[in-house]
């Protein structure tokens, strides 16, 4: 169970509560503590947070017209925002960035994601491979740089990282943003500190960012303190937020170490990097829609998927536009993170796990449908049609039925959002902005 699911389950217990008393808050706090501790949030922080919620809830009256559930949800939201740190707004200006981190943090992939982030915002980017200790680091960054549209520089057999930086700065002098991917180790030791200091002296970075993986939980705070003490960092990027239940622990620990969280990685794709905002992050945990981020992702995805914006807002969802919807969503990162932005949480896993191979399979099945079937899915309740589509697409009947099931679930979501006036108002407001 991830942190968001645990928080929502704790809050759900308040649904029938009409008053806030010591018993109600005590039971709620137990569930809240369980959710936070399972996300590896430090015990002292958990106890402090639940104490604050208890005091605020028991020593204040419910505002008129506000339910106990909504009131406590708001308290939880405010306290979690404080626990998870502030927000970061990257300056879209020429800069030099040094990335630091230990093995397994996702540093090299993050370098390419960061390159794409600035490339998409109009700044040319150069990537320097200064990782002289990990085998295949050169080839990996070279490949990723190409995918990100950034220029790459490295010296394959050179073991002096500072020399690579010096030559790289000459070769990439016309690039607006220079990102240096440095070496890692299993632990921060004297050898790594000496190497990073030499690299930093040569690069003269505007930003030195530590990359940590969410799956190390509260150890992220310890790493932030150690690196900051050794080589001075400006902020932390937390990766693998989509695949770890310890993300809350990592974020809260970094914040407690008085270090800024700058970006979070939310998936494997190069566009799965977003600058950090604790209000948006906590909002998504609690199932509150994040329309602003959604609009930004949609605009990027429409451009990358090469589809017409009007195709994303059909009057009715049918199989003629279903594939376009899935294709565009797949360009937005993980399907789960997209639905989280909509506030649509705790959905079936089979609907969330849409990968490229599955999309191609769906396309083959949709192509095997007649024009009438694509416009009217009710025709597909006929077993003989399902057999024909399976044969025509080179799949099986089970796969066709899975497609029909997922289409039905997505259509329900589509209709729900279409009829949600509040959501449509907010969506329209951000589109105008």
Reported CATH class of domain 291-432: mainly alpha
Q: What would the two tokens of residue 229 be?
A: 């003490």
- pLDDT tens by residue, the chain, 433 residues: 578 888 888 888 887 777 788 888 898 999 999 999 999 999 999 999 999 999 988 887 777 777 778 888 888 888 999 999 889 999 999 999 999 999 999 999 999 999 999 999 999 999 999 999 998 999 999 999 999 999 999 999 899 999 999 999 999 999 999 999 999 999 999 999 999 999 999 999 999 999 999 999 999 999 999 999 999 999 999 999 987 889 999 999 999 999 999 999 988 889 889 999 998 888 888 876 554 555 555 556 555 555 555 554 556 778 877 777 666 666 655 556 665 655 555 555 555 555 556 777 888 899 899 989 988 888 998 999 999 999 999 999 999 998 898 888 778 777 766 666 655 555 454 444 4
Smallest CA-to-CA distance from 432 within 307, 263, 295, 285 is with 295
pLDDT tens-place string over residues 44-70: 999 999 999 999 888 877 777 777 788
This prediction has a pTM of 0.72
Q: Is the dihedral of CA 423, 297, 76, 6 positive or negative?
A: positive
Q: What would the two tokens of residue 355 be?
A: 């990968």
Q: How many CB atoms lie within 10 A of CB 44?
A: 9
Smallest CA-to-CA distance from 169 within 179, 160, 183 is with 179
Q: In what order do the strands lie in the sheet with 177-182?
A: 151-153, 125-130, 177-182, 95-100, 207-213, 235-239, 261-265, 273-275
Residue-level pLDDT at 262: 96
Q: What would the two tokens of residue 298 be?
A: 């949609």
Q: How many CB atoms lie within 10 A of CB 394?
A: 11
Residue spans per domain, the chain: 3-83, 95-280, 291-432
Rounded Cα gap, residues 94 and 234, in angstroms: 17
Rounded Cα gap, residues 177 and 321, in angstroms: 39
Smallest CA-to-CA distance from 187 within 254, 99, 101 is with 101
Strands 261-265 and 151-153: unpaired
Residue-level pLDDT at 115: 97
Please tell us whether the domain made up of 95-280 is placed in CATH 3.40.50.300.
Answer: yes
Are residues 77 and 231 in contact, defined by beta-carbon separation less than 8 angstroms?
Answer: no
Residue-level pLDDT at 360: 78
Residue-level pLDDT at 338: 60
List beta partners, residue 274.
Answer: 264
Determine the 3-state secondary structure of 128 from DSSP.
strand
Smallest CA-to-CA distance from 28 within 45, 3, 48, 53 is with 53
Smallest CA-to-CA distance from 297 within 117, 426, 90 is with 117
CATH fold of the domain at 3-83: 1.20.120
Rounded Cα gap, residues 217 and 252, in angstroms: 9
């Amino acid at each position: 169970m991830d942190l968001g699911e645990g928080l929502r389950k704790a809050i759900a217990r308040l649904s029938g509560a009409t008053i806030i008393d010591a018993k109600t808050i005590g039971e709620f706090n137990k569930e809240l503590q369980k959710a936070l501790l399972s996300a590896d949030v430090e015990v002292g922080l958990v106890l402090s947070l639940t104490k604050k919620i208890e005091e605020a809830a028991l020593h204040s009256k419910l505002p008129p017209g506000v339910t106990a559930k909504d009131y406590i949800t708001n308290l939880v939201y405010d306290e979690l925002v404080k626990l998870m740190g502030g927000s970061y707004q990257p300056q879209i200006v020429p800069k030099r960035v040094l990335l630091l981190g230990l093995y397994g943090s996702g540093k090299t992939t993050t370098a390419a994601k960061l390159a794409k982030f600035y490339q998409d915002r109009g700044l040319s980017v150069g990537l320097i491979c200064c990782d002289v200790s990990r085998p295949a680091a050169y080839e990996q960054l070279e490949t990723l740089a190409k995918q990100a549209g950034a220029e790459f520089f490295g010296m394959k057999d050179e073991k002096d990282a500072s020399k690579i930086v010096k030559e790289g700065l000459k070769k990439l002098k016309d690039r607006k943003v220079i990102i240096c991917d440095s070496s890692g180790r299993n632990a921060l030791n004297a050898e790594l500190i000496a190497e990073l200091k030499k690299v930093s002296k040569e690069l003269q970075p505007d930003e030195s960012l530590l990359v940590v993986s969410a799956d190390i939980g509260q150890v992220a705070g310890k790493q932030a303190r150690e690196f900051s003490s050794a080589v001075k960092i400006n902020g932390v990027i937390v990766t693998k937020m989509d695949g770890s239940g310890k993300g809350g622990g990592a974020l809260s620990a970094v914040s407690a170490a008085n270090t800024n969280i700058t970006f979070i990685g939310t998936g494997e794709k190069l566009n799965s990097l977003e600058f950090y905002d604790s209000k948006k992050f906590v909002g998504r945990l609690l199932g509150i829609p994040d329309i602003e981020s959604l609009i930004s992702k949609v605009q990027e995805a429409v451009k990358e998927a090469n589809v017409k914006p009007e195709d994303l807002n059909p009057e009715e969802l049918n199989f003629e536009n279903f594939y376009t919807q899935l294709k565009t969503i797949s360009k937005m990162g993980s399907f789960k993170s997209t639905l989280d932005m909509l506030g649509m949480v705790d959905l079936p896993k089979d609907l969330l796990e849409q990968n490229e191979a599955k999309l191609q399979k769906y396309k083959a099945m949709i192509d095997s449908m007649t024009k009438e079937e694509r416009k009217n899915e009710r025709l597909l309740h006929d077993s003989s049609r399902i057999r024909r589509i399976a044969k025509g697409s080179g799949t099986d009947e089970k796969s066709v039925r899975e497609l029909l099931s997922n289409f039905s679930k997505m259509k329900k979501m589509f209709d729900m959002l279409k009829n949600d006036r509040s959501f449509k108002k907010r969506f329209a407001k951000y589109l105008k902005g």
